[in-house]
């Protein structure tokens, strides 16, 4: 029996580029040895993405459409697609053609070679400026420094997983604070990497603001490491050492030079300690925020409408 590949595509206001993406991807998949299905997840788009996707689904029964009740975010949309995927292998990618569909045959060959996880590592992005490259590199350096898991630098949301990895994600990785590419790299199994260059975004722009990226980075680091939570211990030791040094300095100045420590020294010490305290409180607050969101157990996503999805797939 012919194996099937599930291609999961997250869409948010991609109306202008969906037809081009579909034509390009189908042309590639048509030449592959595996059968396929394409699962478009409409993540609460405010343009006519839903209308375009319905038209594509009406013309090709291998196209499935999941329309979420609102915008739940890219991570939730990808998990929704994985949940509904029925293939022996799953490829997740974006609809803006920055993730080249032409590399899908390489992912299939990796599956056939026995790999369960295929990380697509971006070596170059045409639209990435110097600041974005530096911040991305810094993020992975920090994440790998504090996490017991080694993450591929510049690994993207373009990746491939086999059915058994998808089953693990469906059953066990149901967190509300998500880093999907991190989950994929942390499950273990046989893993390989394929490098690619991201193409130019054909339509629209990035949906992530600098603030959202910063928030996402903090959540990710806290989700994969408890080292920041131990900052209170480490900073307390540093503050204690600084205090001892200040005491010794004050005694020497008084005993040898009859000069008591000045007003400036006291103010600097107080500002340092207050700043340290507030940082530690902020870190603890971030972990509490994650715990609250996980404890509430609210749905990761809500599907409002399905097209070409049979009941047994649900």
**Global pTM?**
0.75
Q: Are residues 45 and 169 in the same domain?
A: yes
**Do the beta carbons of residue 77 and residue 41 sit within 8 Å?**
yes
Q: Are residues 9 and 30 in the same domain?
A: yes
Q: Are residues 51 and 166 in the same domain?
A: yes
Whichever domain contains 83, its CATH number is 3.90.550.10
Q: Are residues 200 and 254 in the same domain?
A: no
Q: Are residues 272 and 129 in the same domain?
A: no
Q: Is residue 217 part of a domain?
A: no
Sign of the CA dihedral running 145, 148, 152, 156: negative
Q: Are residues 50 and 76 in the same domain?
A: yes
Could you read off the pLDDT tens digit of each residue along the chain, which spans 314 residues? 788 999 999 998 888 888 888 999 999 998 888 999 999 999 888 888 888 999 998 888 999 999 999 988 888 899 999 999 988 999 998 888 888 889 899 999 999 998 999 888 877 766 555 666 676 777 777 777 777 777 777 777 889 999 999 999 888 888 887 778 778 887 888 888 888 877 666 655 555 556 666 776 777 777 777 777 777 777 777 777 877 777 777 777 667 766 665 666 677 777 777 777 888 888 888 888 888 887 888 888 898 888 888 744 43
Q: Domain limits at 100?
A: 4-208+299-313
Q: Are residues 153 and 258 in the same domain?
A: no
Q: Are residues 83 and 178 in the same domain?
A: yes
**Do the beta carbons of residue 41 and residue 92 sit within 8 Å?**
no
Q: Are residues 204 and 143 in the same domain?
A: yes
Which residues is 119 bridged to in the sheet? Answer: 159, 193
Which token pair is 296?
Answer: 């509430």
Q: How many domains does the chain have?
A: 2
Residue with tokens 């998949």: 29
Residue 288: which of 234, 219, 232 has the closest Cα?
219
């Amino acid at each position: 029996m012919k194996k099937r590949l599930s291609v999961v595509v997250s869409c948010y206001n991609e109306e202008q580029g969906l037809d081009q993406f579909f034509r390009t991807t189908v042309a590639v998949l048509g030449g592959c040895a595996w059968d396929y299905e394409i699962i478009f997840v409409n993540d609460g788009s405010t343009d006519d993405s839903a209308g375009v996707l319905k038209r594509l689904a009406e013309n090709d029964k291998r196209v499935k459409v999941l329309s979420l009740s609102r915008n739940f975010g890219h991570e939730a949309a990808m998990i929704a697609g994985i949940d509904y995927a029925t293939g022996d292998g799953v490829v997740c990618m974006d609809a803006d053609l920055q993730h080249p569909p032409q590399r899908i045959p390489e992912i299939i060959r990796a599956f056939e070679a026995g790999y369960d996880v295929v990380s697509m590592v971006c070596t170059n992005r045409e639209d990435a400026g110097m600041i974005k490259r530096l911040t991305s590199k810094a993020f992975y350096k920090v994440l790998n420094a504090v996490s017991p898991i080694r993450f591929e630098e510049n690994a993207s949301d373009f990746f491939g997983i086999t059915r058994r990895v998808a089953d693990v994600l469906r059953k066990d990785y149901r967190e509300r604070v998500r880093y999907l590419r991190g989950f994929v790299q942390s499950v273990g199994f046989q893993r390989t990497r394929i490098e690619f260059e991201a193409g130019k975004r054909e339509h629209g722009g990035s949906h992530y603001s600098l603030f959202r990226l910063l928030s996402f980075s903090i959540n990710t680091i806290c989700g994969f490491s408890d080292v920041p939570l131990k900052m209170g211990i480490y900073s307390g030791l540093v503050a204690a050492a600084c205090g001892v040094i200040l005491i010794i300095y004050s005694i020497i100045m008084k005993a040898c030079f009859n000069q008591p420590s000045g007003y400036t020294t006291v103010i600097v010490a107080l500002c340092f300690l207050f700043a340290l305290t507030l940082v530690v409180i902020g870190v603890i607050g971030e972990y509490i925020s994650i715990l609250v969101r996980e404890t509430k157990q609210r749905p990761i996503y809500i599907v409002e409408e399905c097209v070409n999805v049979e009941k047994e797939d649900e």
